[in-house]
Structure 1
Amino acid sequence: MIKSLSISLPLLASFLTFSQAANAGDSSHYIGGTLGYGFHEFETEKYGQASFSDSVTFDLYYRHMVNDNFGIEVGGMSGSGGAFSILSDIWNDVKGLSYRGLRTTAYARLPLGISNSLYAKAGTAYQWVDYNVRQDKETVSVSETDNGFYGAIGWEFRFRNGLALNAEYQHVPMSNLTLRSYNFGINYPF
């Protein structure tokens, strides 16, 4: 019994792995995420600005492909201060800036070969922005919302099992907050 189980489990695992690899290209549903580093500029009429600061960014998304080259994505993104934010907080009125929000985009890809492709994303972003401001010797915490354009361009390499690695540049200019980041990510069909 144990011997047949020890033979059956590896065979079952191999079958599931190869059947998933065979069907990975047929799926129109993808889940993915990116991690990156970039810069943000923020300005508000009431409290001032954080004109040059850095941030660590995170993006998690779901993509539905309408056909082989076009799809729709919905996702969430967030970011907060990086290494240089400590220095920029000294000179700027706005300190400790962080953001989190939602985005929806159209997705288009240009295949360069079987495994390689270039892609672009364009849509809208809605962010909740939190920061601190020093006023009259007191620190005031402020929360605001912001919305605007979301855009990204990138390169993707997809393995036979469906797993893909990508590198992209994101540009998100909104009313008060502008984000620019370089991200590395992963996505997988299901």
Structure 2
Amino acid sequence: MLIVDWPRVEAAAPGDREEMLIDAAFGEAYSDDLFEHGWSWPEQPGEDWYGRYALRNTFGSYKPHFWAGHRWDHMRDFVEPKVREALDRFNDALFWHRLEDTTGVGSGLPERPCTWDADLLLWCPPDHVPLIAGWWRQAAPQLEVVREPFTRHAAEPGGWITTFESFADLLTDWGEVVTEAERRSWGVVGLRC
């Protein structure tokens, strides 16, 4: 996952943006350590326009996001309304997308087609980030109330995100990403690997 200085990316020639993002995600700061977790920052002068975050226990795969959405779908009706609302929006904005189609509730963020010539899974401009970070700030202190609904309605031995802890870890990592992006007034992008 990358957070990026949006104007710096948009200042690049349109045909160069995808390579620029790929280099940021998989170049110098990239580690092939599947158990890596946390931030890595470029060390070369002039490359201070991005940060890379390795989400815990994802091993570079998008599957945990799918499974987190699947688990959320099974438990969300049993979560306190205030926490459910914040997590619905947070999850939908970052990795669920189209929650509104099945539940009538979504992030409410305006649809913006990606204008960059790049193969992205996530394209989150800087003006969306404060809203998403705000939803995280609402939900994070109450995340523990999700434990019981997860355990009763969503825990399964198969697939990914099989425990409340793994679900909470994924959300907490996303919270770290959007909080840092908000602090820097940057956007968030996720490349298809």
Shorter-chain TM-score bucket reads under 0.3
Q: Choose 1 or 2 for highest CA Rg.
A: 1
TM-score (normalizing by structure 2): 0.21
Where is the strand percentage greater, Structure 1 or Structure 2? 1
